[in-house]
Amino acid sequence: MASNSFFLCHVLVMFSLASMSLSSSLSPYFYNHVCPEALQTIKRVVEDEVKQEKRMGASLLRLHFHDCFVNGCDASILLDKTTTIDSEKTAFVPNNNSIRGFDVIDKIKSRLINLGGPTWEVTLGRRDSTTASRTTANNDIPTPFMDLPALIKNFKKQSLNEKDLVALSGGHTLGFAQCFTFRNRIYNETNIDSTFARQRQANCPRSGGNSNLSPLDPTPALFDSKYFSNLVSKKGLLHSDQALFNGGQTDNLVKTYSTNVGTFSKDFAESMIKMGNIKPLLGNQGQIRVNCRKVN
């Protein structure tokens, strides 16, 4: 597949170019004439940021996911708290003290203004929301503690099916998780490899160390299929990860992805497109924010 940094550019364009659009439809060619250097500019910024901190790739992917699951892909997650904005950044379990990458978005926005993984075509033309909802973020973003029925129901609410659930969960091939999100799993659950559990306990005590990080799979800086191989071996870090391979209806798909990275990459790209098209604001809906973090 293409480099992880280039693959992430397709995610970041959702945020960075949303503030430059006025159209009633989405198109992958929306900015060809009005901002022809946009994609290359985004690519350069993301590559630089990921070179400086490999974890940033996973953080940007997560930022996009968490935006789309709250009232659609409208950049509402970028809004800071004000007297009238109940910022999604402080949603307790999914976002508070864990969601990151906002400075990268600001940098991309600034570079675009100055202009005057698998890859896929991103349909462009989204506008920005004028509101945010911490309550909706708490209710709609899936948590690391969910079992399979809850995950399926959560994704179905966004018009995403079981294949989308498994494929998009594969985004955990990148990045790390904080101790508090997997402590109960490594100390109390039985569907876990005992050696793997002991290894994770070394960096995640029964009390304290809530923000200690552990990789979500053995190669947290590479987009590969080892996340799924881990699940088959009962080495899923999060409860919600292992729930995908625990005797349920998603087991077969996990097995397929664990041995066929090509199929996983193809399905991941298709599911990213579906997720990126959740309730976009078009035409005169929303606004074009001057500052990504504030309503005009």
Q: Residues marked as binding?
A: 67, 70, 72, 74, 76, 88, 142, 172-173, 217, 224
> Do 242 and 192 contact (CB within 8 A), yes or no?
yes
Report the distance separating Cα 20 and Cα 41, nearest Å.
15
What residues form the annotated binding site for substrate? 142
What residues form the annotated binding site for heme b? 172
Dihedral sign computed on CA atoms, order 187, 193, 196, 198: positive
For 167, 177, 197, 225, the CA distances from 236, given in Å and listed in that order, are 15, 11, 10, 13
Length of the chain: 296
What residues form the annotated binding site for Ca(2+)? 67, 70, 72, 74, 76, 88, 173, 217, 224
Which of 287, 281, 291 shows the shortest CA–CA distance to 105? 291
Q: What is the DSSP string of 141-164?
A: SPPTT--HHHHHHHHHTTT--HHH
> Do 15 and 292 contact (CB within 8 A), yes or no?
yes
3-state secondary structure of 195: helix
Query: 10, 64, 66, 239: which one is catalytic?
Result: 66
Which of 52, 73, 54 shows the shortest CA–CA distance to 63? 73
Tokens of 191: 């569907």
**242 — phi, psi (to 5°)?**
-65, -25
Report the distance separating Cα 280 and Cα 125, nearest Å.
9
Tokens of 35: 């901002």
Query: Is 64 among the catalytic positions?
Result: no
> Which residues form the catalytic set?
66
